[in-house]
Amino acid sequence: MRIIHTSDWQIGKVYRTFDPKAEAVLQSERVEVVTRLGQAALENGAAAVLVAGDVWDQAHVSDRTLSLPLERMRLFPTVEWHLIPGNHDPHAPGGPWARLLERGLPRNVRIHVEPLPVPLGDGKEAWLLPAPLTRRHVLGDPTEAMGAMETPPGLLRIGLAHGSIRDFDSDGTGTRNRIATDRAAAARLDYLALGDWHGQVRIDDHTWYSGTPEVDRFGRDDVGQALLVELTRPGETPGVRSIETGRFRWVSVLKTVHGAGDLDGLEVALRRVDDSPQRVVLDLHVDGTFSLAARSDFDQRVRSGVAAAFAACRIDDSGLTVEPTADDLDAIDHAGFVRAAADRLREMAAGPAGPARETAALALRELWVLHAREEGK
């Protein structure tokens, strides 16, 4: 028997550090990955897709957000989809799961809001033991009931849960929704499909975290993944293989620049980040010093130029200091009140760090850009 194990879709996730257009792209891809999961199930002969919690990013979502993943699952009528609530979308009155129970589901979609064993398919090969969360955080082990769940003898037992394996977090922060490390053995599970951790992790031969199918943060070098699990007989080690499902790669770049010459190198380096920049979410941190002219070129060539090549781009240039040259100031004005203002802004921009310094630097750049536009008329 083959299944696809996935989790942490977090449909409706908010990306506040990106502009609205980039945020819309990132949100859309979290929905479209459901289609890729369905295609992976068909291509690999998987009878079911198990979603180990956090289907939605929060417990209160719009009707449209509620329906988005369901409509993608509906496109694969021969695949059974089994979903449980996680800590981001626990089952509670008025929540997404209660609303789905009221309005109905596609025939191939099953949601599990009670810890009761259910058959997979016709129930002749395997049974599913779900551990849904009814609160964001529970004190006990959400999988503890699995050991007492009775299933027909001689059939596969597959657990589906959302939480943290004990001693899994090296810093000790994973103290809620904690799952016993030996749960698979204690509950006689042939496979325990876990969600919550956004990276793919093997706990033991029978226990895995699938990771999120579409990466949603920086600091991970891989793309989103799911697991193809092949089970033969009860008690035997399942075959587990990673499947690439994500579209975007999240890349962080830190560059130090000093002068217009470094700007050329920066642009070249960014264009070499990936052969398919449209599949990259970029986090660019730039520090160093620029003249006013070079800073204006940076805004045009990087912020308004090469940044557009990426699916989404976040730029932090707070460490980039503007040091106007004599030519910069002469270009604004040789004398008079405008030059006096420029000199004063230059002094403030070179002063102690703080809001006044940042405002002065911004005003000086705007003054230079305004002059450049007037000269170009």
Q: What is the tens place of the pLDDT at every residue in 13-31?
A: 999 999 999 999 999 999 9
Confidence at residue 377, expressed as pLDDT on a 0 to 100 scale: 37
Residues 231, 299 within the same domain: no
Cβ pair 58, 94 in contact under 8 A? no
Q: What is the CATH number of the domain that holds 130?
A: 3.60.21.10
In the chain, how many domains are there?
Answer: 2
Q: Which of 225, 244, 263 is the last residue of a domain?
A: 244
Whole-angstrom distance, CA of residue 64 vs CA of residue 165: 33
Residues 268, 235 within the same domain: no
What tokens does 289 get? 């010093």
Whole-angstrom distance, CA of residue 212 vs CA of residue 51: 10
Residue 289 domain boundaries: 249-376
Residues 216, 311 within the same domain: no
Residue for token pair 């999240």: 250
Q: Which of 244, 277, 307 is the last residue of a domain?
A: 244
Q: What is the tens place of the pLDDT at every residue in 223-246?
A: 999 999 999 999 999 999 999 999
Residues 20, 149 within the same domain: yes
Q: Which of 200, 223, 244 is the last residue of a domain?
A: 244
263 pairs with which residues across the strands?
none
Cβ pair 162, 195 in contact under 8 A? yes
Residues 182, 133 within the same domain: yes
Whole-angstrom distance, CA of residue 121 vs CA of residue 324: 71
What tokens does 291 get? 């003249």
Residues 177, 133 within the same domain: yes
Give just the sign of the alpha carbon dihedral 12, 18, 21, 26.
negative
- Indicate the residue type of 292: L
The pTM for the full model equals 0.85
Residues 221, 255 within the same domain: no
Q: What is the tens place of the pLDDT at every residue in 27-72?
A: 999 999 999 999 999 999 999 999 999 999 999 999 999 999 999 9
For β-strands 312-322 and 280-290, DSSP reports them as parallel
Residues 232, 280 within the same domain: no
